Amino acid sequence: MNTRVRPDILITVLEPTDVARARRLALQAAQKAEFGENESGALALVVTEAASNLVKHGGGGDLIVREISNSRPLLEIIAIDSGKGMPDVSRCFADGYSTAGSAGIGLGAIARLSQLHDIFSSADKGTVLMAQVGPGTTETDDRLDIGAISIPYPGEDVCGDAWGLDVSPERIRLIVADGLGHGVSASKASTAAVRTVSDRRNLQPTHVLEAAHLLLKATRGAAAGVVDVDSSATEANFASVGNVAGATVSESGVRRQMISLNGTLGHQMSGARQYPYPLERNSLIVVHSDGVGAHWSLEKYPGLAQRHPSVIAGVLFRDFRRTRDDATVVVIRPHSVRS
């Protein structure tokens, strides 16, 4: 079971002093993740460049620092703005090209210092940049690409949402849970729902939710969605109770909503059901709490459905987040084990 070690950090970056703050918070995260000196230095440079770009070119934005749980540490930076966008992203990533000041050199440095980076920019909607820095590699890389953002209700230290990923030879399983309300009690409920998955790996999604329903009686209750993807990545099975939404998205951006039933785990559930959904090659699965609005379409962002899932999560978070709630969005692109 792959769950978040520490909560994601969101830093609003509007002016140069915020750049210094972002760097400081990222370095604290690096220390907790036991980065060495070189990796910390690389991270500081990446965060400084990404945050400076938010100020110089994005008209301000959000910088998210996320720890990717792994045997070796890896931190992901996602920089999100709603600015003018970059006219030619591939040229911007080559050293030396810039539309204003040092942006071109900055993106080249980010590319060199990161294990993995990706960017999506549209002229009218802004830019989302992601970079993963550190000595770690993602153990499940051959099974799926994943992007996730989970940010607490404003002012809370803990997130009332929780999510987890479990990869076995037979399948990939993802759960997203949203504890009622926000804060510590909500976090306890959603964490208990996620833990049910790791404790009951052999149960079907419906039975996992039924088990969670019993376990969560002592808590405030939660909504949760569980999706299984078979090893050939041709079928997803989704079961959801309450306001956790799931959808499949084709490579061209066509969305198919998956079914969530009414109810609250721990309080009221009239039975869980799971339904199968066919997956095409390079299909995505998107699962999110109701802190992200449900009326999104990747077709409105040409090319986005082919980007790294972290960038897709960043765009959905930017454009559909409801600020008065915990907000979690997880995007996966399963790979066929046979291919």
Chain positions contacting Mn ion, by CB under 5 A: 178, 289-291, 325
If residue 145 lies in a helix (H) or strand (E), which one and from where to where?
strand 144-151
Smallest gap, in angstroms, from Cβ of residue 290 to Mn ion?
4
Q: Is residue 232 within 8 Å of 238, Cβ to Cβ?
A: no
Nearer to Mn ion, 108 or 291 (CB): 291
Smallest gap, in angstroms, from Cβ of residue 181 to Mn ion?
8
Nearer to Mn ion, 118 or 325 (CB): 325
Nearer to Mn ion, 180 or 208 (CB): 180
What does the alpha-carbon distance between residue 256 and residue 109 come to, in Å, rounded to a whole number?
38
Nearer to Mn ion, 221 or 291 (CB): 291
Smallest gap, in angstroms, from Cβ of residue 293 to Mn ion?
11
Smallest gap, in angstroms, from Cβ of residue 150 to Mn ion?
11
> What is the dihedral angle through the alpha carbons of 261, 264, 267, 273, rounded to the nearest 10 degrees?
30
Nearer to Mn ion, 118 or 178 (CB): 178
Nearer to Mn ion, 133 or 186 (CB): 186
Smallest gap, in angstroms, from Cβ of residue 261 to Mn ion?
17
Smallest gap, in angstroms, from Cβ of residue 228 to Mn ion?
23
What does the alpha-carbon distance between residue 82 and residue 194 come to, in Å, rounded to a whole number?
33
If residue 6 lies in a helix (H) or strand (E), which one and from where to where?
none
Nearer to Mn ion, 244 or 269 (CB): 244
For the chain, the 3-state helix, strand and coil shares in percent, each to the nearest 5, are 30, 35, 35
Smallest gap, in angstroms, from Cβ of residue 268 to Mn ion?
17
Q: Is residue 240 within 8 Å of 208, Cβ to Cβ?
A: no
Q: Which two tokens stand for residue 189?
A: 């409920």
Nearer to Mn ion, 81 or 325 (CB): 325
Smallest gap, in angstroms, from Cβ of residue 178 to Mn ion?
4
Q: Is residue 128 within 8 Å of 295, Cβ to Cβ?
A: no
Helix/strand/coil (H, E, C) string of 249-296?
A: ECCCCCEEEECCECCEECCECCCCCEEEEECCCCCEEEEECCCECCCC
| Three-state SS at 335 | coil
Contacts from 92-99 at CB under 8 Å and sequence distance 24+? Answer: 92/119, 93/119, 99/57
Nearer to Mn ion, 300 or 322 (CB): 322
Residue with tokens 């799926």: 144
Distance of CA 20 to the CA centre of its chain: 24
Smallest gap, in angstroms, from Cβ of residue 12 to Mn ion?
21
**Side chain identity, residue 62:** D
Classify each residue of 25-45 as buried b or exposed e, where b means 16 or more C-beta atoms within 10 Å of its C-beta.
bbbebbeebebeeebbebbbb
Rg (CA), the chain: 19
